[in-house]
Structure formats: structure tokens, C-alpha cells
Structure 1
Amino acid sequence: MRSTYLFTSESVSEGHPDKVADQISDAIVDLFLSKDPEARVACETLTTTQLVVLAGEIRGEGIMDTAGNWAPGVPEEIERTVRETVKRIGYEQDGFHWESFRFENNLHPQSAHIAQGVDASGNKDEGAGDQGIMFGYAANDTPDLMPATLDYSHKILQRMAADRHAGTAPFLEPDAKSQVTLRYEGSKAIAATAIVVSTQHAMGYDKGEQEAELKAYVKSVVADVIPAELLGDETEYHINPTGSFEIGGPDGDAGLTGRKIIVDTYGGAAPHGGGAFSGKDPTKVDRSAAYITRYLAKNIVAAGLAQRCTIQLAYAIGVSKPLSLYVDTHGTGTVGDDKIEEAIGRIEKLGGLTPRAIRTHLQLNKPIYARTAAYGHFGRQAEGDFFPWERTDLVDDLKAALAA
């Protein structure tokens, strides 16, 4: 590891057009899982000026039959869910308003050829919903074992959104981005060298006293989020560096599901397999295997077996057993990486990391996904409880398996 270096991560707010799309897609996943825990969902969303479009493949009891006929009332529920999601985010602008945007629903039945490979039948176990590679990561940078640059980037925007919703920062509009650069010595952050925050704002907050008020507010949020010892003369602030940011959200830039996968995961501190999470039910290993690899990596670090850990899993569509498991503790491990791999394979409750075993162990067939779709899928709590993949309840099992 280099002795001194700079590292940067970015985040985007719940009002960013791509995140609007992610939240809509995951709200649809939750709607369908609430009707059928075994529902198959692949929902993509497009957002642009006064328009939301859904597309994708679905299947589920009480939702749609294989001929493409909707169950009574479901299309209306879908539209209501979409509009309520946009309303919750806070869009009531001429260019994008929850009540008046045009809505298109192009969801259709899941391909029978995909279904035959994924579904369990006879002696065949449920297979992976697609081929692919998935990565998980954990590091002891923060109490939640996440990269500090991403953790701070998320929390700046979460705080701003909370103030906007509470009415204590009425000049803020929903669309925003943040970016944090830290200077490291070894694995320890010693200084914040650059903070970038671009936020959509009310009219007039791009000049004079109102601009100064907005910038002072952003700096106060940064000071609340980032430890004081990291901020100082070396810290450079870039707040709305382009000037005006009145036109934003889907009216300013089109949004699509799955375009912020690095924001969703580890801020560039770890590899990414390439698959997005939002809009997919948990039979899709793009989602469920990424969650189990985070769970494994976090428990390895929490167990004191490493300071940093990256895990990779690989799958083939229709095949239940993973093709490979790879553990890398980046030279920080207290035991060999191969020993950790072997220990994971000996933990019975993980069920060999098949798609069905992952869903069962992490209890993924529940409508929990809309809460994941902004401010990252990892390293945070939802309504007071960790997401299942954020638990550290595997620590004792890992230690026992290593001792066996």
C-alpha cells in the first residue's frame, strides 16, 4: 500500500434523475413482492421532463399472468406507487411534478426461456437469474466498515435532504451531488483536501446574500458530517461551481435505472461486477450475491480477521452452485485468504451460497428495497434496523469454521 495518497468518492441525492429512476424501480419491486414473495421482477425506469416510463419483464401471483393480463387494479396501483415515490422525493416543479407527469407502463411477462432455467423443478434446484460476477467489500475506515470518502459523501446529502424535508433549508431543491477527497497516510485518513457539493436551489440563490447563505449552510453541513480534525486550511470547497442550478432533476437531465452503481456500492474503493441492483427481485444474483458478498466481507473484518476484505462470487444462469469464490484481504489478514475461503464453505447456514440459500439466510423475499435505492445499499441503517446483509452475526461461525 502506498504511504501517502489521495482518494475520492462521490454520491448523488434522492432527487438526482438516475436515483429517481432507481427508487421508482425498487418501489415496484416492493409492490410486487408484497403481493407474491416469489415474484420475478426486472423493472427499468426512464425519467425525463414531465415523463416516467416503465419497461421490463415480470411474473407473479396476483400481478400478471403468463399471457400478459394484469390482475384487477394492479395497473392503477403501479401508477399510484410511481407518483407517490416522486411526491416523497419532493418534485413539484413545472418541468417535473408528481401529480402531472405523463406515465407509461410497458411491463410485460417474463421470458419463458429465462423462467425454465431459473425456477426449481423436479430434482433441479433454483438456478441463478443470470450469469455474472459480484463483489463485496468492507474496510475498517468507519464504524459501519465502509470507505470513509463514500460514507461522508452520502451523509452530506442525507443531511441536506432531511433539512429540505423538514423545511429548515427551504432554498434547497431535490437534485444534488457531493464528492469528498481525503488524504491518506497508509490506511488512515488524515485530511479532507476537497469537498464538492452541487445542489439544485430556489430562484435567486446563485448570487449576492442568498448565494452566501446557501454556501454557508453547505459548509455547516460538511462540518457536522466530517470530523473536525480532517477539515482545515488544506480543505478546498467547491459549492455549486458552475453557478446557477435552478433547473435540475429529470427536467435537467434524463434518468435511468442502474446508472449509479458505484454510488450504490463502495465509491470506487472496490471492484464492481457491473450489474445494477435496483429494479431486480432477489433471484437475480446481481443483487442477492452482491449483498451476500458484502455480508461476508463485513463479518470477516468485524471478526478481526482482516482490516480490509474483497470477496468475489461468480454464477452461470440457471445453475445453483457458484462457479467460484475468491477472498482477498489485501495483505491485512490474520490468516491466509485460502483458509477464509475454506471456512466459508464449511458454514452450513450459508447453504453453499446458492441463490435460494442466500435469499433464505438474508430473508430477501420481503418488500425492503425502496429504502436501499438512495444513499447506498451498504453501511447504513433503515428505520433503526440494519439491512440483513449489514448484520455481523456470522463472526462466531467464521471463527469456529477456521478452528475446525
Structure 2
Amino acid sequence: MARSDYLFTSESVSEGHPDKVCDRISDEIVDLFFREGPKHGYSPWDLRCAAETLATTNRVVIAGETRGPKEITHAMVEAVAREAIKSIGYEQDGFHHATCKVEVLLHSQSPDIAQGVDASGNKDEGAGDQGIMFGYACNETPVLMPAPIAYSHKILELMAKARHAGKEPKLGPDAKSQVTLRYVNGKPVEVTQIVVSTQHLDASMTSADVRAVVEPYVREALPVGWITPKTVWHINPTGAFVVGGPDGDSGLTGRKIIVDTYGGAAPHGGGAFSGKDSTKVDRSAAYAARYLAKNVVAAGLADKATIQLAYAIGVSEPLSVYVDTHGTGKVDEAKLELILPELVSLKPRGIRERLGLNKPIYARTAAYGHFGRTPDADGGFSWEKTDLVDALKNAF
């Protein structure tokens, strides 16, 4: 029996966090391939990109494997990396978009991997790797996400928007948030602890000064009444936070996978998303699993749903489909496991077609979560659509 009364905590990190800087650069490179490849005769189905980024004091190193036209040069990759750093807001002595050294070490994809993934003859496109992927949804929030991670993201999004708009010029790009919620009868009812640490460009600011700046955004992000007189606040608890971003701590692509997904409220298969094109099932199948889980909950078939998919490299069909509705289901889970693959092809190519993943839509996913977002008109966050609801209801 699941516990009904408990505390649960999730964290988020801002776009300027060192790891998120790297995720952003890696995803900008994926977008570069999908944007420029078709201009030079490459089908988006044939493009490949797996870009990893390391960032430290005034240095960025980009490595990985790609396939695309020769017109996508290392100079172009360096340019998009610098533009990403500029967009985030780094113009500091220890990390500046114009002066940091950028080293590009991308090379061609292994032919051994390519032969397993590429479609040929009667062989359908295979999975880009083995692995397990999870999708999750619950009815705790309007976006069908766990409340602690959803509101941790929201706090930092509001702060970032204010910083970019020039409303908070003393805030720097690097920030972290953490929200602890009390659950009663399985539902979140109040905030017991709030943590916000944010870089500040005015070295004279105290923790109290920073709280005066950020508290309005915290209160705006959280539901009315959830912050009480008993809520404990931890704002810049170490004191000064002037040196931030990759100058203060090195960053790596793919090191914030729990922030990217469900804040620890659901399992994670272990694979990162950023820097990978849509043949990589670490990314595309995780999106598909979220899409299915969200539609199950949106259809009213369960209050919570976890879906696991498993793949083998070079094999098209998933090895298994597992559904767990955590005792909240209104329908048989085994039947759902049969129906979901009938409604949506879970082959890598089927996922890419269904969700329209062969597009430059990835840089926007690099901060504030890949899930719980609003679908964009150009196909971004397509996995957040709830267009399977009627079909799921009709199936039962």
C-alpha cells in the first residue's frame, strides 16, 4: 500500500547552471543539424548527432559523433555554442561568450552503429542503443506532473524571465531551487521548505537582500495558501554567490537527468536526452513514454501512470511495454499494455513520425524540464499533447 501522508522534495536548476549550459550547447548542435542538413540535400531521417559538452572557466569542449553535410563545419558549431552562452547571459570575466576558448572535436558516426540504426531493404530503422525508458504522469498539477518538480521549475523560470527582461539586473544566470511539499491523503497541500540559491552580480548583497528580490517570484510560482507561516526559507544559505556558472563549477551534458524528468517521483532509465538526435531512444522513447502516460491520465483511466519501454540496438520493436497505475487505475493494466502499441507505433521510426521529432526543436528543452511544457505551434514539445484521449476512452 502506497503511503498517503509524507514529505517529498524535488530540485530544479536554471539555464545558467554549468550542466545546463552544456545541455543547451549540445541541443543547439542537434538543432543545427536538423536546420541546416536539409538545406544541403540531407534527409532529416538520415541526420545523426550525439554531441557532448564540457564547460569550465573560459573554456568549452565539444565532442561526439555526427552524420550530415560537410557544410556544417566546426566553425558553425563554435558559433552556435557562443550564441547559446550569450543568450543565457554570460558576459563575465571567468566565462564570456566572446572570449572563452571553444574546442570542437566532433567526428563521423561509427559505421558499426549506423548499420544497426539505418533502414535498408526490408529492414526497418532500428533503435540507436539498448536501454530502458520511463514515462510518468499524475494529476497533481494541471500539466499532469509531480508538484515538487513542476513548482521548482516555475520558480526559476519566473526569475529567468525577469532577469532577461531587465527587471532584476542584479541576478546572475546561475541558480537552483528546491521545494519540499507535505502530502496528505496522497495530495500536496503545503510547502514545508523552500530553497533558492541564485548568483548575484552585486557582491555586496546579503542573503536577506537576495530573498527580498526572489521571494515575490517564489510566491507567484506556488499555489495560493501553500506557503504558510511555518514554511522554512533557505535563500542563498551559504551567503555570497557571485562566482557562478562554469567559472565556479565545471559542467557536463547529461548530468541533470532527474531535473529533466520527474524530480525523483518516478523511475529513470538512466539515459540523458540533450545532445542526441531522435534516433536515440534514450530521448525519443522517453518522450513517447511520457506521451502515453500523460494521455492515460488525461483520459481519466488512472490518477498516476508509469510506463516502461525497453529496446535493443538495431531492433525496431520494443522488447517490452510495462504499465503501472499505482493502484489508481480504472482499467486493466495488462489491457493497456496491449492497446497502447496499437494506438502509437513504438518503433523508433514510428515515434519520430508520430511526434514529429526530425526538427530543430531541442534547444528549448534544455532547461526547466522536458515534460510538463506547453506544445508549440512548430512541433516543439509534441509529446505533451493529449490527442489520444478519445481513442483511449473508446478502447474501454
The answer, yes or no, to whether TM exceeds 0.5 is yes
Confirm whether residue 58 of structure 1 aligns to residue 36 of structure 2.
no
Q: 2:277 corresponds to which residue?
A: 281
Q: 1:25: how far off? A: 0.1
Which structure 2 residues correspond to residues 321-340 of structure 1 after superposition, within 5 A?
321-340=317-336
Q: 1:205: how far off? A: 4.1
Q: 1:66 corresponds to which residue?
A: none
CA separation of 1:356 and 1:203: change in aligned 2, threshold 3 A: same
Q: 1:90: how far off? A: 0.2
Q: 2:41 corresponds to which residue?
A: none
CA contact (8 A) 1:171 1:205 kept: no
Q: 1:14 corresponds to which residue?
A: 15
SS at match of 1:378: coil
Which structure 2 residues correspond to residues 5-84 of structure 1 after superposition, within 5 A?
5-36=6-37, 37-38=44-45, 39-60=47-68, 62=69, 71-72=70-71, 74-84=73-83
Confirm whether residue 398 of structure 1 aligns to residue 380 of structure 2.
no
Aligned mates of 1:18, 1:368 — CA distance in 2: 19
Within the candidate set 234, 239, 242, 1:238 is matched to: 234
CA contact (8 A) 1:53 1:103 kept: yes
Confirm whether residue 364 of structure 1 aligns to residue 372 of structure 2.
no
Confirm whether residue 306 of structure 1 aligns to residue 306 of structure 2.
no
CA contact (8 A) 2:153 2:369 kept: yes
SS at match of 2:119: coil
Q: 1:217 corresponds to which residue?
A: 213
Q: 1:88 corresponds to which residue?
A: 87
Code of the aligned partner of 2:210 = L
CA contact (8 A) 2:375 2:385 kept: no
Code of the aligned partner of 2:383 = W
SS at match of 2:230: coil
> Which moved further from structure 2: 161-170 or 124-133?
161-170
Q: 1:79: how far off? A: 1.2
Q: 1:73: how far off? A: 6.2
> Which moved further from structure 2: 12-21 or 160-169?
160-169
Q: 1:139 corresponds to which residue?
A: 138
TM-score when scaled to structure 2?
A: 0.96
Q: 1:190: how far off? A: 1.2
Structure 1 stretches of 4+ moved >4 Å: 382-386
Aligned mates of 2:128, 2:27 — CA distance in 1: 17
Within the candidate set 329, 337, 341, 1:341 is matched to: 337
Q: 1:29: how far off? A: 0.1
Gaps spanning 5+ residues in structure 1: where? Answer: 63-70
CA contact (8 A) 2:376 2:382 kept: no
Aligned mates of 1:72, 1:181 — CA distance in 2: 49
Aligned mates of 1:308, 1:106 — CA distance in 2: 43
Q: 2:193 corresponds to which residue?
A: 194
Which structure 2 residues correspond to residues 161-180 of structure 1 after superposition, within 5 A?
161-180=160-179
Q: 1:147: how far off? A: 0.5
Q: 1:4 corresponds to which residue?
A: 5
Aligned mates of 1:180, 1:384 — CA distance in 2: 31
CA contact (8 A) 2:179 2:194 kept: yes
Aligned mates of 1:90, 1:219 — CA distance in 2: 22
After superposition, the C-alpha distances for 1:5-55 in whole angstroms (9 at most, x for unaligned) are 000000000000000000000000000011231311110000000001100
Aligned mates of 2:173, 2:213 — CA distance in 1: 16
CA contact (8 A) 2:18 2:251 kept: yes
After superposition, the C-alpha distances for 1:120-148 in whole angstroms (9 at most, x for unaligned) are 11111110000000000000011100011
Aligned mates of 1:34, 1:357 — CA distance in 2: 21
CA contact (8 A) 1:191 1:234 kept: no
CA separation of 1:73 and 1:401: change in aligned 2, threshold 3 A: closer
Aligned mates of 1:96, 1:221 — CA distance in 2: 27
Code of the aligned partner of 1:187 = G
Aligned mates of 1:72, 1:126 — CA distance in 2: 26
Aligned mates of 1:316, 1:391 — CA distance in 2: 27
Q: 1:150: how far off? A: 0.4
Code of the aligned partner of 1:49 = T
CA contact (8 A) 1:171 1:214 kept: no
SS at match of 1:379: coil
CA contact (8 A) 1:205 1:214 kept: no
After superposition, the C-alpha distances for 1:229-288 in whole angstroms (9 at most, x for unaligned) are 111122100000011100110000000000000000000000000000000000000000
Q: 1:72: how far off? A: 4.0
After superposition, the C-alpha distances for 1:158-214 in whole angstroms (9 at most, x for unaligned) are 01111111111111000000000000012211110000000000133433xxx5332
Aligned mates of 1:182, 1:72 — CA distance in 2: 50
TM-score when scaled to structure 1?
A: 0.94
SS at match of 1:53: strand
Aligned mates of 2:225, 2:105 — CA distance in 1: 52
CA contact (8 A) 1:371 1:382 kept: no
Q: 1:384: how far off? A: 6.6
CA contact (8 A) 2:7 2:180 kept: yes
Q: How well do the aligned residues superpose, as a CA RMSD in angstroms?
A: 1.2
CA separation of 1:73 and 1:337: change in aligned 2, threshold 3 A: closer
Within the candidate set 259, 273, 276, 1:263 is matched to: 259
Aligned mates of 2:176, 2:377 — CA distance in 1: 25
Code of the aligned partner of 1:4 = D
Gaps spanning 5+ residues in structure 2: where? Answer: 38-43
SS at match of 2:51: strand
Aligned mates of 1:327, 1:302 — CA distance in 2: 15
CA separation of 1:247 and 1:357: change in aligned 2, threshold 3 A: same
Q: 1:74: how far off? A: 2.3
Aligned mates of 1:225, 1:74 — CA distance in 2: 42
